[in-house]
């Protein structure tokens, strides 16, 4: 009973502060063309954002982590003001995703019944088909035979909304805009769920004509267009002429007030280019991208190559540079590894407030970059169960247990709870492999069998040892010593 009362009070406090966002953000958007007014509104938002984050953190009260979270949220708000975003998109984001009281009520009911908070979103890859064949792509896309049915795709979304209060979905592939079943497309899914926001990772080549028109009308799809750097680097991995095509697409999106972002994979070869002034200025200031997601190369999919993973030294350079961009330029650029302090570590495996991944064959996977599975959504539905059956999976439970022990939502952080090394698959490979073997998780189709070889395993473990030595010491100095708990 005390837990329920405390949770209700927490929700009430969060809603109180978040309700301040909408009128302030709407006013700021209206004044965003006038720099003095925009800066004044941003200054008013800082203490509101900081207080809201502090309340939502619960027991985690490290001052350095609070600063990271606040600065990232301010970058999100500033990016919304800096770029041209349709007012309808902002309303969906605030009303249906952030300030949805009915959704919060469903989340609370789930928490009371199950003893934990449900995932915050789902990453769904409805189809494997793609019109490109990018080097090292984990999707290994080539066929339209492997895809979720419209019935299953729709049911996943409906059950997530009804059971968990989820109104945000990440869509990947393959190329998501090629998915089609029973004459339904991704645009039809979005149209039938206008109270949801869909972040769609796409190569961008299909965003023209009727698709562009419908995106402008719907306003609930945010395309994240993949680039590898400037023209030479992007064309080298994605195909000659691709860079010019997506630049044209981005100009068209901006002219239609369709919010869009970029998705970038960092390797040992391009890590400096994708964080250079030239790259940032071009995509965010000239072309008008509203956000960016930075992924460190993961050696999975076709021809995995561990030597392409940014080294520990490169990773620390990227940490410094990416936070300079977020704090000084106020650009929303999220790095899922270096910015683990924003998410309290790894978000995968259906963690409270986190997510999990469902691929085109229905495999339920901790994360797109952790390609092992022991359950399938098609089998769950055939057995007469709902999506809540995923919480019965011992494999996902084991990963969530590791997350909890690694500091997720814990009050006490130390040298062994390093959120700059948050990924079990990438940063703690020995642990991930142990969990995979214990629960007989299957490497999903499309991944090179070399991932099971002794050489691959040895490379991954050696990488982690070096990472712990170099990044681990930085974590202790920057976040443990300089971020003493103040409550």
28-71 confidence digits (pLDDT tens): 556 555 666 666 666 666 666 666 666 566 565 688 888 899 89
What confidence score (pLDDT) does residue 242 get? 95
Burial class (CB in 10 A: 0-12, 13-18, 19+), 383: exposed
Closest C-alpha to 399, from 433, 376, 368: 433
What confidence score (pLDDT) does residue 260 get? 97
Closest C-alpha to 301, from 435, 442, 449, 436: 449
Instruction: Identify which has the larger pLDDT, 264 or 141.
Output: 264
Q: Which residues of 432-446 are buried (b: 16+ CB within 10 A; e: fewer)?
A: bbebbeebebeebeb
**Residues 149-160 pLDDT 10s:** 999 999 999 999
Helix (H) or strand (E) holding 26: helix 2-30
Tokens of 146: 């492997």
Q: Rounded CA gap, 444 and 439, in Å?
A: 14
Residue 173 clears pLDDT 80, i.e. is over it: yes
Pairing of strands 363-365, 375-376: antiparallel
- DSSP secondary structure string for all residues of 250-318: HHHHHHTT---EEEEEE-TTTTTGGGSHHHHIIIIIIS---EEEEEE--S-SSS--GGGSPPHHHHHHH
**Residues 400-447 pLDDT 10s:** 999 998 887 665 788 888 999 999 999 999 999 999 999 999 999 888
DSSP-assigned beta bridge partners for residue 266: 296
Residue 321 clears pLDDT 50, i.e. is over it: yes
What predicted TM-score, i.e. pTM, was given to this entire model?
A: 0.91
Q: Rounded CA gap, 475 and 82, in Å?
A: 32
What confidence score (pLDDT) does residue 137 get? 73
What confidence score (pLDDT) does residue 92 get? 87
Q: What angle do CA 75, 80, 82 make, to 5 degrees?
A: 90
Q: Rounded CA gap, 168 and 195, in Å?
A: 9
What's the mean pLDDT in 83-111? 85
Residues in the chain: 487
Band of residue 486 on the pLDDT scale cut at 50, 70, 90: very low
Backbone angles phi, psi at 245, to 5 degrees: -65, -45
**Residues 184-194 pLDDT 10s:** 999 999 999 99
Range among 132-146, 161-175, 413-427 rated most confident: 161-175
CB 387 within 8 A of CB 458: no
């Amino acid at each position: 009973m005390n837990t329920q009362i405390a949770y209700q009070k927490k929700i009430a406090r969060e809603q109180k502060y978040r309700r301040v966002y909408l009128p302030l953000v709407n006013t700021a958007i209206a004044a965003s063309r006038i720099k003095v007014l925009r800066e004044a509104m941003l200054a008013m938002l800082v203490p509101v954002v900081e207080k809201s984050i502090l309340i939502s953190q619960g027991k985690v009260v490290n001052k350095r982590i609070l600063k990271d979270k606040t600065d990232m949220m301010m970058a999100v708000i500033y990016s919304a003001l800096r770029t041209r975003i349709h007012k309808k998109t902002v309303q969906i984001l605030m009303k249906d995703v952030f300030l949805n009281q009915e959704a919060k009520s469903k989340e609370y009911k789930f928490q009371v019944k199950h003893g934990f908070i449900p995932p915050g979103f789902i990453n769904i890859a409805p189809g494997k088909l793609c019109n490109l064949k990018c080097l090292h792509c984990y999707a290994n896309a080539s066929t339209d035979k492997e895809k979720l049915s419209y019935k299953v795709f729709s049911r996943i979304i409906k059950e997530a909304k009804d059971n968990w209060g989820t109104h945000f979905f990440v869509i990947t592939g393959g190329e998501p805009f090629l998915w089609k079943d029973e004459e339904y497309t991704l645009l039809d899914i979005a149209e039938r769920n206008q109270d949801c926001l869909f972040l769609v990772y796409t190569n961008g080549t299909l965003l023209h004509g009727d698709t562009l028109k419908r995106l402008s009308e719907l306003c609930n799809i945010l395309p994240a267009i993949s680039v590898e750097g400037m023209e030479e680097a992007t064309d080298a991995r994605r195909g000659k002429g691709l860079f010019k095509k997506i630049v044209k697409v981005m100009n068209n999106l901006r002219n239609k007030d369709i919010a869009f972002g970029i998705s970038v994979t960092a390797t040992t070869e391009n890590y400096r280019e994708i964080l250079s002034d030239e790259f940032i200025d071009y995509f965010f200031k000239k072309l008008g991208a509203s956000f960016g997601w930075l992924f460190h190369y993961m050696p999975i999919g076709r021809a995995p190559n561990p030597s392409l993973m940014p080294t520990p030294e490169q990773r620390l350079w990227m940490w410094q540079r990416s936070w300079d961009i977020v704090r000084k330029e106020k650009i929303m650029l999220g790095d899922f590894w270096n910015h683990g302090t924003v998410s309290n570590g790894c978000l995968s495996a259906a963690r409270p407030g986190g997510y999990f991944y469902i691929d085109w064959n229905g495999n339920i996977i901790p994360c797109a970059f952790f390609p092992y599975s022991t359950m399938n959504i098609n089998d769950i539905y055939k057995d007469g169960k709902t999506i809540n059956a995923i919480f019965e999976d011992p494999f996902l439970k084991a990963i969530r247990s590791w997350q909890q022990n690694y500091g997720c939502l814990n009050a006490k952080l130390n040298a062994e709870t390093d959120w700059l090394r948050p990924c079990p698959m990438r940063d703690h490979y020995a642990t991930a492999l142990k969990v995979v073997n214990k629960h007989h998780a299957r490497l999903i189709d499309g991944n090179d069998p070399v991932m099971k070889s002794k050489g691959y395993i040895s490379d991954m473990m050696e990488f982690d040892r070096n990472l712990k030595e170099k990044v681990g010491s930085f974590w202790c100095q920057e976040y443990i010593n300089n971020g003493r708990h103040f409550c």
